C-alpha cells in the first residue's frame, strides 16, 4: 500500500499554528498538525489575555487556545499530540518523524515559536502562572499597586521594568553584575524612573510562597549572603530561546537559532517549507 503524502504538515501549535491550520483547512488542504505534547504554546502559561480582539472581558490563555483548537478541528484539521523527533527537508516529499512513525508532506509550516528562558529554580517552576511570569505585557496589569521584581540586565529586562511601572507600586530590577548589558538609552530610561530601583550584584535564589508569590530570596554574587524581601510578582526577563533545534542543518537560521525568512514573507531557505 502506497504511503499517503500529506498536503500540509504543521509543526507546533499556539496562535500561529492554529491560524495556519484554519486557513489551510478552509482551502481544502486537509492539514495535519503535529501539535506536541504541550499544545497551545506560551499562552498556556498566561493567565488572563486582555489584548486579544473579540473578548471584551478578556479570556484565560488556555481557554483561548482551546477555542482556537476547536475552530481548527471544526474545519477537519487532524491532530497528533506528540513531539516531532526528526525532519528531513533535503528531498521532496519532506519527511517528518514522530518517534518511529514517518509522515511525508508536500509542504511543511513551522510554528514552533520560542520559549522564555528561566532560571531553573524549583520554586520558580512551581509558581509559574501564580505570580511568576516571563511576560509583563501579558500579566503586568494583575499587579496593580503591588511590589514586583524583574530578573535580568538586557534590553528586555529594562523594557519589562518600565512597562510594569504603569501598574506596580514599585519595580526592583535584580541583576547579577554591577553593570547592565542593555543599551544606554534603555538603561537611562529605567534609572530615571522613580518607581524603579536596582539590586546589583545579585541573583534570585528562591521564590517564596505556597499558592502564590509572597516574597523572594536574593543572593549577593560577591559575598554569597542571602536576604529575603516581600514581593508580589516575579518577572523573568533573561531572553527567549527559539524552538528550532530540530531544524538545525535543514534550513537557514541566524546565530541564535531563529529561522531566516525571505524579506517579509514566510518563505524559508527551502522551497515548500514555511515559518510562521
Q: Is 139 known to be catalytic?
A: yes
Show the DSSP H helices in 127-214 as ranges. 136-139, 155-164, 184-191
Q: Is 111 known to be catalytic?
A: no
The DSSP code sequence of 190-240 is HHT-TTEEEE-SEEEEEEE-SSS--EEEEEETTT--EEEEE-SEEEE-S-E
Q: Which of 135, 145, 155, 249 is catalytic?
A: 135
Q: Which of 111, 138, 149, 232 is catalytic?
A: 138
All three cell numbers of 256, joined, read: 541564535
Q: Which of 57, 101, 111, 139 is catalytic?
A: 139
CB-based burial label for 247 (10 Å; 0-12, 13-18, 19+): buried
Beta-carbon contacts of 202 under 8 Å, excluding residues fewer than 6 positions away, are 174, 175, 176, 218, 219, 220, 221
Rg of the Cα trace of the chain?
Answer: 21
Provide the annotated active-site residues.
Answer: 135, 138-139
Amino acid at each position: 500500500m502506497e504511503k499517503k503524502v500529506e498536503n500540509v504538515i504543521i509543526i507546533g501549535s499556539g496562535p500561529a499554528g492554529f491560524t495556519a491550520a484554519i486557513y489551510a483547512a478552509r482551502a481544502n488542504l486537509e492539514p495535519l498538525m503535529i501539535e506536541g505534547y504541550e499544545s497551545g504554546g506560551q499562552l498556556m502559561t498566561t493567565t488572563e489575555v486582555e489584548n486579544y480582539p473579540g473578548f471584551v472581558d478578556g479570556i484565560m490563555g488556555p481557554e483561548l487556545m482551546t477555542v482556537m483548537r476547536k475552530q481548527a478541528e471544526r474545519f477537519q484539521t487532524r491532530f497528533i499530540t506528540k513531539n516531532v523527533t526528526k525532519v528531513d527537508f533535503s528531498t521532496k516529499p519532506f519527511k517528518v518523524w514522530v518517534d518511529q512513525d514517518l509522515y511525508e508532506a508536500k509542504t511543511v509550516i513551522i510554528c514552533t515559536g520560542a520559549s522564555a528562558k528561566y532560571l531553573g529554580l524549583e520554586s520558580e517552576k512551581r509558581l509559574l502562572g501564580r505570580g511568576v511570569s516571563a511576560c509583563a505585557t501579558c500579566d503586568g496589569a494583575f499587579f496593580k499597586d503591588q511590589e514586583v521584581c524583574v530578573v535580568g540586565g538586557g534590553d528586555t529586562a529594562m523594557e519589562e521594568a518600565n512597562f510594569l511601572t504603569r501598574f506596580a507600586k514599585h519595580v526592583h530590577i535584580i541583576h547579577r553584575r554591577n553593570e547592565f548589558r542593555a543599551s544606554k538609552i534603555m538603561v537611562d530610561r529605567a534609572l530615571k524612573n522613580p518607581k524603579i530601583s536596582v539590586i546589583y550584584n545579585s541573583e534570585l535564589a528562591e521564590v517564596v510562597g505556597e499558592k502564590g508569590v509572597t516574597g523572594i530570596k536574593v543572593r549577593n554574587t560577591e559575598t554569597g549572603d542571602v536576604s529575603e524581601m516581600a514581593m508580589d510578582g516575579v518577572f523573568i526577563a533573561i531572553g527567549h530561546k527559539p524552538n528550532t533545534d530540530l531544524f538545525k542543518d535543514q534550513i537557514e537560521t541566524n546565530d541564535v537559532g531563529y529561522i531566516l525568512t525571505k524579506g517579509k514573507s514566510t518563505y524559508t531557505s527551502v522551497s515548500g517549507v514555511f515559518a510562521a
